Amino acid sequence: MVMVSEIDLFNLEDPNSIIRKVVGDDELIDISELAQRRVQIPVGYEIKELSIENGESKEISSLVEDEIKKFVNEGYPDNIYTPIYEAILNAYQHGNKRDPDKKVRFAYHLGESHLDILIEDEGTILNSTFVPFILKHRESDVKSKYIDFYKFARKEKPKANNGTGTSFMHAYMDEINYYLGEHGLMVHMVKNKN
């Protein structure tokens, strides 16, 4: 017997759903071709341009260590490091395609009630399977279940990638949005002060 929910035409997990068919399978989307206004890092944000050579955890940690300490000292949880690390790693690996000549911009504004973080890469190409993956995060409680991108997309997982970085970002932050930045994809993350 087939459960009705299993054949829902808008089921994001079903590779045969309308959503998956509309965005295509493994199509490349150049976000610079979208009729979107490019978002600039606002005035008043602290900005750090990161040059990443190999994307190792120690390298990224050393680049943002002082800022993480500042956030923790202001009352944000220690795990604030995780979504920042994952966003920077994703920008380096997927946006900049591991090109050490491309920069990752890490910008933040430490407010009274929340922390705004912007991570921008220099890439404009997204795989279409990322679209339903993000929609799935927006519709479900990922704080209780991490979603592996490669399992979700039914792709072979690369050896150097776990596919859970975006899920960690959504789990640890209170709000996440994606924009076309001046240089590439910009991820905006918000953490409310509890």
Instruction: Provide the domain count of the chain.
Output: 1
DSSP 81-135: HHHHHHHHHHIIIIISTT-TTSEEEEEEEE-SSEEEEEEE-S--EEETTHHHHHH
Q: Which of 58-62, 159-163, 188-192 is predicted least confidently?
A: 159-163
Residue 14 within a domain: no
Classify residue 4: in a domain, yes or no.
no
Quick check: is 137 in a domain? yes
* Pure H helices in the chain: 18-23, 57-73, 81-90, 130-139, 149-152, 165-172
Residues paired with residue 180 on neighbouring β-strands, in sequence order: 185
**Least confident interval from 63-77, 120-134, 141-155:** 141-155
Say which residues have a Cβ less than 8 Å from residue 23's Cβ, sequence separation at least 6.
Answer: 128, 129, 131, 132
Is the pLDDT score of 138 beyond 80?
yes
Q: What is the pLDDT of residue 158?
A: 82
Q: Is the dihedral of CA 124, 133, 157, 85 positive or negative?
A: positive
Gap between the Cα atoms of 174 and 136, Å rounded: 16
The tens digit of pLDDT for each residue in 112-132 reads 899 999 999 999 999 888 888
36 found inside a domain: yes
Q: What is the pLDDT of residues 5-30, one digit of tens each?
A: 556 777 777 777 777 777 766 688 89
pLDDT (0 to 100) of residue 7: 61
Q: Residue 136 domain-assigned? A: yes
Q: Which amino acid is at 25?
A: D
Question: Is 62 contained in some domain?
Answer: yes
Give the alpha-carbon dihedral of 47, 53, 55, 61, to 10 degrees.
-50
Read off the tokens for 109.
């504004």
Which has the higher per-residue pLDDT, 16 or 102? 102
Lowest mean pLDDT among 49-63, 75-89, 91-105, 110-124: 49-63
16 inside domain: no
- pLDDT value of position 25: 65
92 pLDDT tier (thresholds 50, 70, 90): very high
As a whole number, mean pLDDT of residues 53-74 equals: 92
With respect to residue 145, please indicate whether it lies within any of the assigned structural domains: yes
Q: What is the pTM of this model?
A: 0.89
Q: The domain that contains 97 carries what CATH number?
A: 3.30.565.10
pLDDT band with cut points at 50, 70 and 90 for residue 101? very high
pLDDT at 179: 95
Domain that holds residue 88: 30-192
